[in-house]
């Protein structure tokens, strides 16, 4: 079964520093991969998605992620952290073969803290 | 901007009581999902609807949980009786197609005492 593993449940960076949130996937076929963000007491919002069109994917709020098949990774990065980036970030993968039975499966999340 | 509406935002109940959550997806979204998110964890799928039909409810504890989407629009998730371990955020999401691009509501936070 397809799944994702997020390395590091908590990450702290200084404002203006590089943000790197790690995600590795296990899949026997090329997956569809996603990053979602969740602000406190809110639902999740899609940041970006990989659907095999391009290995470097750009998302909202200056985030991007690179699909690396050789490393089975889909790490999320942002060159310069802003205080408003403090949130929980979830990596996710499509699970299931096809059609309406396909489902989104989430990792356990990484809480990002941005220090002034 | 269209949003997924959920109510109530917060619910406190005692164990053994009945609880119900309501979700109104974005207009035109055929697929509707109910996820449960325990504090500090990622969301876990409880049930998925395609229009009014259940596509997957394999992770739904059917002895106490039920979900319906009678007219293929809004949906209700019910828990009866509630247990202490049911304390969590219940998230509803919808999508046009099943490509992983989900639109989430703000969630309903349940506390069972």
Contact predicate A37/A45, CB 8 Å: yes
**Interval B3-58: pLDDT, tens:** 999 999 999 999 999 999 999 999 999 999 999 999 889 999 999 999 999 999 99
Residues 39-68 of B with CB under 8 A from A: 40-45, 48, 50, 55-56
**β-strand A10-14 against A110-115: which pairing, if any?**
parallel
Residue with tokens 């002895």: B63
Alpha-carbon distance B46 to A21, whole Å? 27
CA distances from B111 to B5, B85, B95 (A): 20, 9, 28
Contact predicate A65/A50, CB 8 Å: yes
Q: Above 90 in pLDDT, residue B68?
A: yes
Whether residue A5 has a cis bond before it, omega within 30° of 0: no
- CA nearest to A50 within chain B: B100
Paired residues of A59 in beta bridges:
none
**Interval B89-112: pLDDT, tens:** 999 999 987 677 899 999 999 999
Question: What pLDDT does residue A77 have?
Answer: 98
- CA nearest to B89 within chain A: A41
Token duo for residue A76: 């999320």
Taking an 8 Å cut-off on Cβ atoms, the answer to whether B100 and A34 are in contact is yes
Question: What pLDDT does residue B81 have?
Answer: 96
Alpha-carbon distance B28 to B108, whole Å? 22
Token duo for residue B80: 């009866």
Taking an 8 Å cut-off on Cβ atoms, the answer to whether A109 and B44 are in contact is no
Low-confidence ranges of chain A (pLDDT < 70): 1-2, 28-30, 95-101
Closest CA relative to residue A22, chosen from A70, A94, A106, A90: A90
Alpha-carbon distance A95 to A83, whole Å? 33
- CA nearest to B92 within chain A: A43
**β-strand B10-13 against B108-112: which pairing, if any?**
parallel
Q: Above 80 in pLDDT, residue B63?
A: yes
Instruction: Count CB-CB contacts under 10 A for residue B96.
Output: 12
Element (H, E) at B43: none
């Amino acid at each position: 079964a397809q799944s994702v593993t997020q390395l590091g449940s908590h990450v702290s960076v200084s404002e203006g520093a590089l943000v790197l949130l790690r995600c590795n996937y296990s899949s026997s076929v090329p997956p569809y991969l996603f990053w979602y963000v969740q602000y406190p007491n809110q639902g999740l919002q899609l940041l970006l998605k990989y659907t095999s069109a391009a290995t470097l994917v750009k998302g909202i709020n200056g985030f991007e992620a690179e699909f690396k098949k050789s490393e089975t990774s889909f790490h999320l990065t942002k060159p310069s952290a802003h205080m408003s980036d403090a949130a929980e970030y979830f990596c996710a993968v499509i699970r299931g073969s096809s059609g309406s039975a396909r489902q989104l499966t989430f990792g356990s999340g990484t809480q990002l803290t941005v220090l002034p | 901007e269209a949003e997924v509406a959920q109510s109530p935002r917060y619910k406190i109940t005692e164990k053994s009581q009945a609880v119900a959550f309501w979700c109104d997806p974005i207009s035109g979204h055929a697929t509707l999902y109910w996820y449960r998110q325990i504090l500090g964890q990622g969301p876990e799928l409880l049930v998925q609807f395609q229009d009014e039909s259940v596509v997957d409810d394999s992770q739904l504890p059917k002895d106490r949980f039920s979900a319906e989407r009678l007219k293929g629009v809004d949906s209700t998730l019910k828990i009866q009786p509630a247990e202490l371990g049911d304390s969590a955020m219940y998230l509803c999401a919808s999508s046009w197609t099943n490509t992983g691009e989900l639109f989430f509501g703000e969630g309903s936070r349940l506390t069972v005492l």
